[in-house]
């Protein structure tokens, strides 16, 4: 029995290491995070936060990707932020708020570590190192928002499409993930027709394969050559501040 408990604890720790912020914490802090949280599965398009609703939990993606969007009066959506295994949804909590003006939902299904909001705030208040780690991510996230705003205004749909696909692949750490032209257009703030042409161009070049609502990255170097400089800038921000890197996240617990 003790052996099984030890194996389960080790498996839980390996899962926490799948998120770059949690991986940067000391073992003592990760123990506190593990004790206060639980592993959950997000389904595709599952709601995470609703505008002005009280935030009940902080989420640390492990192999899922979450979108932060603004919904306009006509019902259309535009992505204003993306959160993967480099970060957390807890930005409002870090800044002392308990609600958010934006909607958030699951963009690519997968796992995340969930910590109740009250426990997350207690960790912020009780550990200087925990708060420093959260603040470092907040800085990287704000810098990325500025870069993406400039990207949407200055770069072509093709460049932005390649950048978005690369960033998504980095976050899920696999070559295939669900995506429709309609959804990608909403994420890029572009007309569906433009995104369709961009995706067809990337597929024609042999960089991706698109079929049945799923995209497979076939030639990463080709996508990198097509993407604007915003992809490199965003990666440098997160690599330097939270040390985003690939880790095993499928431990055997028995």
**Residues 98 and 167 occupy one common structural domain:** no
| 144, part of any domain | no
For the stretch 52-90, pLDDT in tens is 999 999 999 999 999 898 887 777 777 788 899 989 999
User: Which structural domain, as residue segments, surrounds residue 176?
Assistant: 156-227
CATH number at residue 170: 1.10.10.10
| 138, part of any domain | no
* Residue 160 host element (H or E): helix 157-172
The span from the CA of 187 to the CA of 9, in Å, is 37
* pLDDT above 60 for 109: yes
- pLDDT, residue 160, reads 86
* Residue 58 host element (H or E): strand 57-61
**Residues 107 and 197 occupy one common structural domain:** no
| 137, part of any domain | no
Contacts (Cβ under 8 Å, ≥6 apart) of 21:
60, 86, 87, 88, 133, 134, 137, 242
Instruction: Over range 144-165, report the average pLDDT.
Output: 79
**Distance set, CA 149 to CA 70, 78, 155, 182 (Å):** 14, 12, 10, 20
| 63, part of any domain | yes
CATH number at residue 112: 2.60.120.10
Categorize the per-residue pLDDT at 106 as very low, low, confident or very high, splitting at 50, 70 and 90: very high
**Residues 106 and 161 occupy one common structural domain:** no
| 149, part of any domain | no
Please, what is the average pLDDT of the chain? 83
The span from the CA of 114 to the CA of 61, in Å, is 9
Q: Which tokens is 205 given?
A: 């070049």
Domain boundary among 77, 95, 121: 121
* Extended strands (E) in 73-213: 77-83, 103-108, 110-116, 176-178, 208-211
| 7, part of any domain | yes
**Residues 111 and 15 occupy one common structural domain:** yes
**Residues 12 and 114 occupy one common structural domain:** yes
Contacts (Cβ under 8 Å, ≥6 apart) of 19:
60, 61, 62, 85, 86, 87, 88, 113
pLDDT: which is higher, 188 or 253:
188
Which of 15, 20, 3 is closest to 136 using CA atoms? 20
| 172, part of any domain | yes
**Residues 94 and 162 occupy one common structural domain:** no
User: Which pTM value belongs to this model?
Assistant: 0.81
Contact (Cβ atoms closer than 8 angstroms) between residue 116 and residue 170? no
Q: Which tokens is 210 given?
A: 């698109």
| 199, part of any domain | yes
């Amino acid at each position: 029995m003790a052996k099984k408990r030890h194996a389960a604890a080790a498996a839980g720790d390996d899962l926490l290491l799948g998120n770059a912020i949690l991986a940067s914490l000391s073992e003592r802090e990760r123990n506190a995070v593990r004790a206060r949280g639980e592993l959950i599965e997000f389904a595709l398009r599952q709601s995470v936060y609703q505008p002005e609703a009280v935030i009940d939990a902080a989420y640390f993606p492990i192999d899922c990707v979450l979108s932060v969007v603004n919904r306009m009066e006509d019902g259309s959506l535009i992505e204003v932020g993306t959160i993967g295994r480099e970060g957390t949804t807890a930005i409002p909590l870090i800044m002392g708020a308990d609600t958010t003006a934006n909607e958030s939902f699951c963009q690519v299904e997968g796992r995340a570590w969930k910590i109740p909001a009250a426990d997350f705030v207690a960790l912020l208040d009780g550990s200087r190192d925990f708060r420093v780690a959260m603040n470092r991510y907040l800085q990287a996230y704000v810098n990325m928002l500025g870069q993406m705003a400039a990207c949407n205004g200055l770069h072509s749909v093709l460049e932005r499409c390649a950048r978005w696909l690369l960033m998504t692949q980095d976050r899920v750490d696999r070559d295939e993930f669900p995506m429709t032209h309609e959804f990608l257009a909403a994420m890029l703030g572009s007309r569906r027709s433009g995104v369709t042409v961009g995706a067809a161009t990337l597929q024609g070049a042999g960089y991706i394969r698109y079929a049945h609502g799923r995209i497979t990255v076939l030639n990463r170097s080709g996508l990198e050559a097509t993407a604007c400089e915003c992809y490199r800038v965003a990666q440098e921000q997160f690599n330097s501040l939270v040390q985003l890197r690939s880790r095993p996240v499928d431990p055997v617990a028995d």
